[in-house]
Amino acid sequence: MSRLQVVSGKGGTGKTTVAAALALALATEGKRALLVEVEGRQGIAQLFETEALPYEERKIAVAPGGGEVFALAIDPELALLDYLQMFYKLGSAGRALKKLGAIDFATTIAPGLRDVLLTGKACEAVRRKDRSGRFAYDYVVMDAPPTGRITRFLNVNDEVAGLAKIGPIHNQAQAVMRVLKSAETAVHLVTLLEEMPVQETADGIAELRSARLPVGRVIVNMVRPELLDAGDLDLVRNVPRTAVARSLSAAGLGGARRGGHAERLVDPLLGQAEEYAERYALEQEQRAVLGELDLPLHELPLLAEGMDLAGLYELATELREQGMS
């Protein structure tokens, strides 16, 4: 099991949720997992229903069996000052740089420096050991940038190592790349059973592979329950409306006569079934496309009541049962 688990996915597919559930699943039974946020959205805090996370590692949840989940929202500015401190002991010079806008520059637009800092911090957490020589965290789970940017994000250190050909940044960048391109890392992609996210997932995997970054698993999120099977859907097209009306009436929903309560439900309900049929067919197609990717595939259910803390634990259990942790 890779110790750095990177979770990416198209916007709107729920990658933060999946990353959080994965951290919980990995922490189960006495393990320690660190959940890292790199995009400054405070999505983790919202998910765990806590106040905004500061730039420090803080325990946010307890996993079944005594495990612990810590969270860290990386602030690129503070990470840079950290980094300067680490390498140069730049107390006042760091502040001066800040005044001049250099920090702003570095974390906003300098060639990838921001991404270097973010990946660097995550890799540092992966490698960190406590006094007894044990790893500080058994797992680090990163809620990473979306699929469209993930390869560039993870590969930034390669680019930086090329730009800054010598010096500490160069060395740091290379050290990070060694972790990211090893079996220590697995990059998972979250998708929905819809055409665009699936297409982006396929493209993203191709990109990751060509950059020789380790692709992990594909997680299909928000899978709707199968309420009508193929047989039902055949029936939807051919069933006499009167038969459905009688059946609804038998279920206690009023009269089956024309104009009766049950009768008036037939059309809207069959209409909904036709929509379902259309979506069902699309979903089957997308499943087939995902199947061709030749990667382990996991499915997480759509939670009827929306996403909350209880739901998160439910998804974590699901991931564990599916052998993802």
Task: Pick between residue 5 and residue 107 the one whose CB is nearest to another protein.
Answer: 107
**Is 257 among the residues that bind another protein (CB under 8 A)?**
yes
Least separation in angstroms between CB 67 and another protein: 26
Q: What is the dihedral of CA 42, 43, 45, 51, to 10 degrees?
A: 50
Separation in Å, CA 36 to CA 110, 158, 189, 288 = 22, 22, 16, 32
Q: What is the DSSP letter of 220?
A: E
**Is 146 among the residues that bind another protein (CB under 8 A)?**
yes
**Is 244 among the residues that bind another protein (CB under 8 A)?**
yes
Task: Pick between residue 62 and residue 196 the one whose CB is nearest to another protein.
Answer: 196
The answer to whether 175 touches 123, Cβ cutoff 8 Å, is: yes
**Is 96 among the residues that bind another protein (CB under 8 A)?**
yes
Indicate which single residue of 141, 200, 221, 316 sits in contact with another protein (rule: CB under 8 A): 200
Residue carrying structure tokens 């990473």: 144
**Is 278 among the residues that bind another protein (CB under 8 A)?**
yes
Least separation in angstroms between CB 145 and another protein: 6
Task: Pick between residue 136 and residue 270 the one whose CB is nearest to another protein.
Answer: 270
Indicate which single residue of 50, 138, 223, 255 sits in contact with another protein (rule: CB under 8 A): 255
| Chain residues 258-277 in contact with another protein, contact rule CB under 8 A | 259-262, 264-265, 267-276
- Measuring CA to CA, which residue among 286, 281, 319 is closest to residue 301? 319
Q: How many residues bind another protein (CB under 8 A)?
A: 96
**Is 4 among the residues that bind another protein (CB under 8 A)?**
no
Distance CA 174, CA 4 (A): 17
CA angle 120, 10, 272 (to 5 degrees): 155
Contact track, another protein, 279-298, x by CB under 8 A:
x--x----------------
The answer to whether 206 touches 293, Cβ cutoff 8 Å, is: no
- What the block records as the tokens of 63 is 């996993």
**Is 109 among the residues that bind another protein (CB under 8 A)?**
yes
- What the block records as the tokens of 121 is 């911090």
CA angle 106, 111, 117 (to 5 degrees): 55
- Measuring CA to CA, which residue among 55, 58, 89, 92 is closest to residue 74? 55
Task: Pick between residue 54 and residue 66 the one whose CB is nearest to another protein.
Answer: 54
62: β partners: 68
Task: Pick between residue 267 and residue 294 the one whose CB is nearest to another protein.
Answer: 267
Distance CA 116, CA 119 (A): 5
The answer to whether 136 touches 3, Cβ cutoff 8 Å, is: no
Residue carrying structure tokens 């994000």: 153
**Is 169 among the residues that bind another protein (CB under 8 A)?**
yes
Indicate which single residue of 2, 50, 223, 254 sits in contact with another protein (rule: CB under 8 A): 254
Distance CA 285, CA 299 (A): 15
Contact track, another protein, 53-92, x by CB under 8 A:
-------------------------------x--xx-x--
**Is 52 among the residues that bind another protein (CB under 8 A)?**
no
User: Stretches 28-36, 51-59, 249-257, 315-323: which one binds another protein (CB under 8 A)?
Assistant: 249-257
